[in-house]
Amino acid sequence: YNSDMDDKKIIFALDIGTRSVVGIVGAIKDGCFSILDYEQEFHEKRAMRDGQIEDIDLVAKVVNSVKNKLQERSGQTFTKVSIAAAGRALKTISASFCHDLIPNEPITEKLVQYMEYSAIDKAQQSFLNESDNLESNSKDYYCVGYSVTDYSLDNYKIKNLEGQKGSRAKTNIIAAFLPTSVLISLYAVTARCSLEVDNLTLEPIAAIHAV
């Protein structure tokens, strides 16, 4: 997205799939994503395999075509895009982080973020150690995101830590790693179409939210 329409933030998203490219234009309305327009175009030749881009030029041509058609119909100029990466080569690592709290001091949003990022750091270290044991090249993988599985406060599971008080807080996460080549090819395509990646998620996560 790069502009507002009737005071709504316009979002441009792409599903760069194995058989086709789907572009969607929408906006958030009443907490839900409202689709304004979409366009689908199929690859003329085999340009992708299992979500991995094999021919950047061919894929970029289709993406550009989808983008231009949606721009013409919406009257917008898209400079940013939200995309999803295929999860076929996805690797995940679970990790947790515990933090001793200051008595009678409420947990802040900043502290929750610190705990989550610390858990991510532990997940990355675990991934590096596991990769070393398997004699695989961990440098070829990149952490593309994470999901919080649950929080706990003084050994009791809790939905939201913010504002709570206690002695010890814990966060459990699952971090996701993808081959760097998958991301490099996706970013190469969007760059050739004069698009900056504003949001990146995983296709399995995007599908879950869509359902």
Quote the distance between the C-alpha of residue 52 and its chain's center. 16
Classify each residue of 105-117 as buried b or exposed e, where b means 16 or more C-beta atoms within 10 Å of its C-beta.
eebeeebbeebbe
Can you give the pLDDT at residue 154? Answer: 94
In this predicted structure, what is the pLDDT of residue 139? Answer: 59
Please state, in angstroms and rounded to a whole number, the distance separating the CA atoms of residues 202 and 206. 6
Residue 44 confidence (pLDDT):
77
In angstroms, the CA 186 to CA 85 distance is 8
Its pTM stands at: 0.73
Q: Which pLDDT belongs to residue 160?
A: 93
Residue 132's pLDDT is what?
61
User: Torsions phi, psi of 37, nearest 5?
Assistant: -165, 155
Q: What is the pLDDT of residues 61-96, one digit of tens each?
A: 999 999 999 999 999 899 999 998 877 778 889 999
What pLDDT, on the 0 to 100 scale, is given for residue 37?
94
Residue ranges of the chain with per-residue pLDDT less than 70: 1-8, 45-54, 131-139
